[in-house]
Amino acid sequence: MELSVSNTVNTALAMQDAQLTQEVQTHVLKKALNSQADAVATLMQSLPVLAIDGTLGSRVNTHA
């Protein structure tokens, strides 16, 4: 009986550790994605505006 309780407690503690690790990894991933989004937004803002009138410069020819 004692062995079963000990195994259950050890399993629960291991699951808590795994959950904490996953939460930390998710937080780091979100920070990295936000950083990349900020960098892309900065790059997009630095591009010149090509299309001034109508559809000029607003379409990309995908046939090569």
pLDDT at 1: 55
**pTM exceeds 0.75 for this model:** no
**Helix, strand, or coil here: 62?**
coil
What is the chain's alpha carbon radius of gyration, rounded to the nearest angstrom? 26
Residue 2 token pair: 């004692």
Tens digits of pLDDT across the chain (64 residues): 567 999 999 999 999 999 999 999 999 999 999 999 999 999 999 988 765 666 665 677 777 6
Q: What is the pLDDT of residues 24-35, one digit of tens each?
A: 999 999 999 999
pLDDT at 50: 66
Cα–Cα distance between 51 and 60 in angstroms, integer?
12
